[in-house]
Amino acid sequence: MSHRRITCLVLVLTGGLALSAGAGADTVKGRIDDISNKGSTIKLTPEGQPPVTVLFGPETQYVNAASVKDLGSPDLIEVEYAPGKPATRITKVVFGLPPGAEVSLQELEAIRAGKEPFVLVDARPEKQYVTGHLPGSINIFPKDLPNRLNELPADKGVMLIFYCGGPTCPYTGQSIEIAAKAGHTNLKGFQAGIPAWKKAGKPVVASPSWVAAGLGPNTVVIDVRAKAESAKGHVKGAVAMEAAEFPAMTQKFVAEKQVARLPGVADMAAPIVVYGDTENGQDVLTAYGELKKYQYKNAAILKGGYPEWVKQGLPIEAGAATTQISYVKKLKPGAVSRDEFAKLVENRGDTILVDVREDKEVAGGKLPGALHIPIDRLQADPSVLAKDKPVITYCSNGIRSEMAYDFLKKNGFEKVRFLNESLVIKGDGSYVLE
């Protein structure tokens, strides 16, 4: 499939979401959901609209970013492209702060380590705050701030530092404006926000209530205390893994020339929470630091540590905790699990495997017995598939397979699902799920 076909398909699937930007050009604006360097695609969601997938290439120009490497979820971008071609320009939409208000990562660290009093405010929605925030920060969303000014210092000269999801998030500037109108005079904004904090490997803490709500196979909770201590009482379902074990695992994986990761957790977006007797103990910080080296995107420290968990009356259990991680990736609606996909490859029965990749990709290898129907051809004529048969779509990274799934569901296919994984198929038909 050519680049032209993919781009045209996006326009059809999004129901004309693209807005005119001049003769022969279109634009679309939304927040990034996913980026595939392998497929040269960016999946973004315009506000209130279905997701859109666009292409980028060597000729793509970037504004407020050096390259696609400077983009990521949930950045707000505006994409300009000529019909049938990769994007000509991708603009990372950023929001400025009042002169003198912005603080860098290094300045924020110095303030936190200093003696001047300050209050750190996370301006993101609560559902984002609870999953991971800067230690010591409180959470007030801008629209709630006028009614929660009493939670700020009575002394309006005390430094207030607001942050949110980075330069493409407007909430930092909005919060500063509201606080200024209320008479606060020492206002700062950490505009780089939580993405820069995480990228630098700095610790983030997760709220105990959020961790408790997610207990189960889709969340990994690790007790980094001595195993004898965890046996006295630990978070229900937690895995006992002392902090000293983390660097050892890194060394083992490096020696074996493998990607450093926790045994049993191949999903680098897996929610992983570590805890000890304190929130900032060396054991906890060591474990968290190693997880960041492994490049787990959603690692966090339990806020307040185990004592806070007990204080809140959240589920605990005594006895030796398991030392084996049993993680199951939470699937999107319509997604098929790795294990089920593997079984279907070996024994499909009446299930139809549909490879929606381009011709040039399939030339390098295809799963035995799979139908090759590039997504543009499927879009042009879905009748090539029988509606009464189970269908599984797959591609190289899950983006196009999900697009195919959405399209088929809208066209009356009730038995369709998709593989939402990075898939590498070799010339002999064997494959690896990364």
pLDDT for residue 3 is more than 50:
no
Q: Among 117, 121, 38, 151, which residue's Cα sits nearest to residue 399?
A: 38
Question: Which pTM was predicted?
Answer: 0.78
Per residue in 386-419, pLDDT (tens digit) is 999 999 999 988 888 998 999 999 999 999 999 9
Domain(s) of CATH 3.40.250.10: residues in the chain = 105-199, 205-317, 338-433
pLDDT for residue 180 is more than 50:
yes
Average pLDDT over residues 89-110: 95
Please name every residue paired with 302 in a beta bridge, in sequence order, or none if there are none: 206
Q: Give the per-residue pLDDT at 300.
A: 98
Q: Give the per-residue pLDDT at 83.
A: 67
Q: Give the per-residue pLDDT at 84.
A: 63
Average pLDDT over residues 14-43: 69
Average pLDDT over residues 366-380: 91
220 or 33, higher pLDDT: 220
252 or 224, higher pLDDT: 224
Fold annotation for 205-317: Oxidized Rhodanese; domain 1 (3.40.250)
The most confident of 145-154, 330-339, 413-422, by mean pLDDT:
145-154
Q: Give the per-residue pLDDT at 249.
A: 76
State in words which class domain 338-433 has: alpha beta
Domain(s) of CATH 2.40.50: residues in the chain = 3-92
pLDDT for residue 104 is more than 90:
yes
Average pLDDT, the chain: 89
The most confident of 58-72, 82-96, 140-154, 398-412, by mean pLDDT:
140-154
pLDDT band (50, 70, 90) for residue 51: confident
Q: Give the per-residue pLDDT at 19.
A: 42
Q: Give the per-residue pLDDT at 149.
A: 97
pLDDT for residue 378 is more than 70:
yes
pLDDT for residue 228 is more than 60:
yes
pLDDT band (50, 70, 90) for residue 6: very low
Q: Give the per-residue pLDDT at 268.
A: 85
Q: Give the per-residue pLDDT at 256.
A: 75
Find tokens 């949930």 and name the residue: 74
**Architecture in CATH for domain 3-92:** Beta Barrel (2.40)
376 or 234, higher pLDDT: 234
137 or 380, higher pLDDT: 137
Q: Give the per-residue pLDDT at 40.
A: 84
Q: Give the per-residue pLDDT at 132.
A: 97
State in words which class domain 105-199 has: alpha beta
pLDDT for residue 8 is more than 50:
no
The most confident of 39-43, 229-233, 329-333, 347-351, by mean pLDDT:
229-233
